[in-house]
Structure 1
Amino acid sequence: MPQQPAVLRYGAGGLPVYRAGMAPPQLATRRQLRADGLSTAGLAPAAWLHYSAHHGICPLYERAAARPVRPLTPRQREALAAGRALVGTAPCYHCRVRRGVVNDQSRALCDECGPIVRAAERIRAAAEAEAHERMLVDDRAAATAWAREVLADPATVILDTETTGLYGSYAVSVAVVTTTGAVLLDTLLNPQVPIPAEATAIHGITDAAAAAAPTFGAILPQLTEAVHGRRVVVYNEAFDVGVLTRELKRHFGAADAERAEQLAAAWLGSARWECAMERYACWYGDWSNYRGDYTWQPLRGDHDALGDCRAVLRRLWAMAGEDAGVLAGHRWPGPKAMGADRPDPVRWPATASDRHGISQSPGTP
C-alpha cells in the first residue's frame, strides 16, 4: 500500500496542512513547545496540523524561533496561588463581603455567617412544620364539621352513578339516598351506546342488562324530584356532575345545542353540589408535597351506584365521629357499627324494586 503524502492540503495563508503524526520534527504545537519550556509569544504559525478526523486543525510553530518561557516572579506565584485558593468558593450570599465554599445549591456561606444562617433555617423549618401540622388539624376539624352539618341537614342527599367509562361517558345506573339511608332512586339505565368490556369488568353491568332499562330521559322526572332544591353530596363531584351534564345535554339537545346547554346548567343549578372526596381527603390528611395538596382516597365501594352511595354515607359517619348521630338527631349506630372502619363494602338489604327500578318508598338500612 503506497504511503500517503505528509501534506493533506494547503490551508489559510497557503500554509501546508500536515497529517497527524507526519509533521516535520522542526515544527511543534503550542502544547509541545510549552512542555519543552518554550513560548509561542510573538510567533506566527508556520504550518497546520490535521489532528482530528472531524476536520480539527491546530497551528504548528518553528521550534528554532520559540523563546524560553520566562519564570514567574514571586508576586505572580502569589497571585496564582491566591487564585487557586478561590476555586470552589464564591462571595457569601448572606454578608456579601467574605467568601465561602459553594454548597450543593450553588450558594456559598462564609464561616462567620454559616452558623447564623443555619440556625435561622432551623427555626424557619420548625415554624413551617408547626404551621403545616396546624393546617392538617384545622382542615380535619373543618371536614368533621362539614360532615356533621351534612348529616344533620334534612335536605342532604347522596348521589352516585356508574358509567360507560372515564371519559365522555354516559350513565348505566344512578342512585340517590338520604342521610338516613332512605333510597329515593336506584335504577339501571340504558346508555344508548355500547358498554365497553373494561367498564363491565368493573361494575358488572352488561349491554344485555342495560337494554331493558329505562333511558336517562325516562327517569329524569324522578331524579329531578330527588335532587331539586337539595344539597347533593357526591364522591368525586366533578366526574358525576360531568356525566349528568352530558346526559342532560343529550336529553335537551335534539334540536338546539345552545339551548340544551342552558337547560342543563339550569337543572344542575337547582341543587347545591358538594364533593365528599375532597372533604374526605382533608379529613384523611395524606398530604402530597409534590402536588401541594391532599391525596384523594379511593371510595372502596362495590362499584354499584346504590352501594357506593352507602359507602359515601359510611365515610360521612366516620368523618363526623361517634357522637354525630346524637348531634344530627338520628338514632343510628356509630360509624364502626356501620362498617365505616372496614375497607370492604358492607352490603345493606334491598328490595327487588330497589335494585333494578325506581323505588318511591324509603328503604331502611
Structure 2
Amino acid sequence: MERIRGGWVNVPEHLKCKTDLKEMGLKPTGEAKAEVWNSHIWVKLYDINETAPRKPATEKQLAAIEKARAAQLAARTCSRCGEIIPKKESLFQGMCNYCRESLFIKETSENALELFRSWVHDKSKYLILDTETTGLDYDSEIVDIAVIDLDENILLESLVKPVCPIPEVATIIHGITNKMVENAPSWPEIWPQIKQILSAGKIILIYNDSFDIGMIRSNCERHNLPFTAFESICVMQTYAEYVGNYSRYRRDFTWISLADAAYEEDIRLIGIGSHRAKSDCIACSRLIHRIVAERGVEVESVKNTS
C-alpha cells in the first residue's frame, strides 16, 4: 500500500478518508488504496470511484446514536459545576479536579474551625508557646521565650542569653538587644523550668510549630541537654486551612504570618508591646478566640438546623 508523505496537500483528489466519505454520504466498497501521515497516525485512503451511497439512518438508529452521545457527554460532565471536560478519566467520583479541590478546601476549613472551637471549649488542656531567636536557621539561638494559657495567664516569660551575639538584623525584628540579655539566664539555666511546663501533659499550641520546636531542640543540642518531644499543634497551619489559603499549584495550604493573620482578623494588641514572645502568644490566643467568637455560634446553629 502506497504511503503518501508530506501531509494532505499531496493526496490526490480521488482519494478520501472514511470521514470525508461519510460527510459526502458515501461508504467505501473496496480496500484502502493508500495512507497519509496526519502528524500522529497513518490514515487510510479509499478511491472515491469504489464507493456506494450510505443508507440514511433509521429513527431507531438516530435515537441510539443520540443516546450514546448523551451518555458520552454525561460521562465527561462534572456533577458539581456542570463543566464538560476533555477526558472522562479526569473525573473522580463524578467531579472535576477544580471541584474536588474546592470541596476539599471547604471541608478542611470546616474541620479547622472545629479544631479552633475545641481549643476554646477545652482550654485547660492547652498552652501557647512562642520564641524569638537570633535568626531563622537551625543553628540560631533562642533569646526570648514565653508560655501562656488561653486566658492569657503567663506561665513563663524570659529573655535568654545566647552564646553568640544577637545580629542587628534580628534586633530590628524583635527589638531585643545584646544589652537586654546581658544578665538574662542562659538556656541551660532556664531549660528545667521550660521542660517542666512542656512535660505537664498539656498540648502546646504554636504559631509555626516546626520552627519553634526546631529552635528548642537545637538549643538543647547546643548545650548537650536531653530533648523530650512534646505534643503540639501548629496554629499557623490550622489558620491557613481555616481561611482556605490553598495553592492549587503546590497542592497545599500556604502559611500566613501571625502579623498578617492578626491584621485580617482585626486583633488589637495596644498596650501589649512589640514583636516579642509574650505579645505573640497573646496575639495567637486572641486570634483563636476571635475566630470562635465570630464563627462558633454560626456553626452551632447550622448543626442544629441540619
What interval of TM-score do these two structures reach, taking the shorter chain for normalisation? Answer: 0.5 to 0.7
Higher mean C-alpha deviation, range 158-167 or range 121-130: 121-130
Output the amino acid matched with 2:204: V
Partner of residue 117, structure 2 = 148
The SS at the match of 1:320 is helix
1:87 aligns with 38
What corresponds to 2:240 in structure 1? 281
Taking structure 1 as the reference length, the TM-score comes to: 0.53
Residue type at the aligned position of 1:154: S
Report whether the alignment pairs 1:225 with 2:184: no
Counterpart among 136, 159, 167 of residue 166 in structure 1: 136
Q: Please tell me whether the aligned partners of residues 175 and 305 of structure 1 are also in contact (alpha carbons under 8 angstroms).
A: yes
Secondary structure of the residue aligned to 2:258 is coil
What CA distance in whole angstroms lies between the structure 2 residues aligned with 1:184 and 1:154? 13
Counterpart-to-counterpart distance in 2, 1:280 and 1:196: 31
* Structure 1 residue 88: Cα displacement: 4.0
Residue number in structure 2 paired with 1:296: 255
Deviating more after overlay: 188-197 vs 296-305: 296-305
Equivalence for 1:319: 291
Match of 1:203 among 169, 174, 178: 174
1:283, 1:319 within 8 Å by CA — same for their partners in 2? no
- Alpha-carbon contact 2:130-2:278 (below 8 Å) kept: yes
Q: Distance in 2 between matches of 1:114 and 1:308?
A: 60
2:221 equivalent to 1:241: no
- Gap regions ≥5 residues in structure 1: 1-71, 93-111, 254-259, 326-365
> Could you report, residue by residue, the CA deviation over 1:103-148 in whole angstroms, capped at 9, with x for unpaired residues?
xxxxxxxxx9999766644423871344333222221121111112
Q: 1:136 and 1:114, CA in 2 relative to 1: closer, same or farther beyond 3 A?
A: same
For residues 192 and 164 of structure 2, the distance between their equivalents in structure 1, rounded to whole angstroms, comes to: 22
In structure 2, C-alpha distance between the alignment counterparts of 1:195 and 1:121, rounded to whole Å? 60
Of 118, 138, 141, 2:107 maps to 138
CA distance in 2, matches of 1:147, 1:318: 10
Indicate which of 213, 217, 226 corresponds to 2:184: 213
User: Which deviates more from structure 2 when the two are superposed, residues 217-226 or residues 200-209?
Assistant: 217-226
Contact map agreement 2:35 2:42 (CA 8 A) in 1? no
Mapped to 2, the partners of 1:207 and 1:179 lie a distance apart of 31
- In the alignment, the residues of structure 2 paired with residue 287 and residue 200 of structure 1 have an alpha-carbon distance, to the nearest angstrom, of 32
Code of the residue aligned with 2:184 in structure 1: it is A
Q: Distance in 2 between matches of 1:121 and 1:166?
A: 48
Query: What is the percent sequence identity of the aligned residues?
Result: 30
State the AA in 2 paired with 1:127. Answer: M
* 2: CA distance, partners of 1:289 / 1:279: 18
Shift of 1:186: 1.1
Show the counterpart of 1:182.
153
Distance 1:187 1:292, change over 3 A: same
Q: Whole-Å Cα distance in 2 between the matches of residues 155 and 239 of structure 1?
A: 22
State the 1:157 CA deviation: 0.5
Structure 2: distance between partners of 1:91 and 1:293: 43
Describe the superposition over 1:241-262 as per-residue Cα deviations: whole angstroms up to 9, x where unpaired. Answer: 01000112233x1xxxxxx4xx
Does the 8 Å CA contact 1:160/1:234 hold for their aligned counterparts? yes
For 1:183, the aligned partner's letter is I
**How far is 1:177 from its partner?**
0.6
Distance 1:78 1:324 in 2: 69
Mark the CA change 1:218 to 1:136 in structure 2 (over 3 Å): closer, same or farther: same
User: Using the alignment, how far apart are the partners of 2:108 and 2:291 within structure 1?
Assistant: 12
Note closer, same or farther for the CA distance 1:91–1:311 as it changes in structure 2 (3 Å cut): farther
Match of 1:127 in 2: 95
In 1, distance between residues paired with 2:181 and 2:70? 71
Match of 2:55 in 1: none
Moved more, 173-182 or 196-205: 196-205
Between the aligned partners of 1:311 and 1:296, the Cα distance in structure 2 is: 16
Superimposed CA distance per residue, residues 208-250 of structure 1 (whole angstroms, 9 cap, x where no aligned partner): 2122211122222322333222111111111100100011223
Aligned to 1:157: 127
SS of 1:174's partner is strand
Number of residue pairs matched by the alignment: 219
CA distance in 2, matches of 1:289, 1:185: 40
Partner of 1:333: none
Which secondary structure state, in structure 1, belongs to the residue aligned with residue 155 of structure 2? strand
Change (3 A) 1:284 1:78: closer
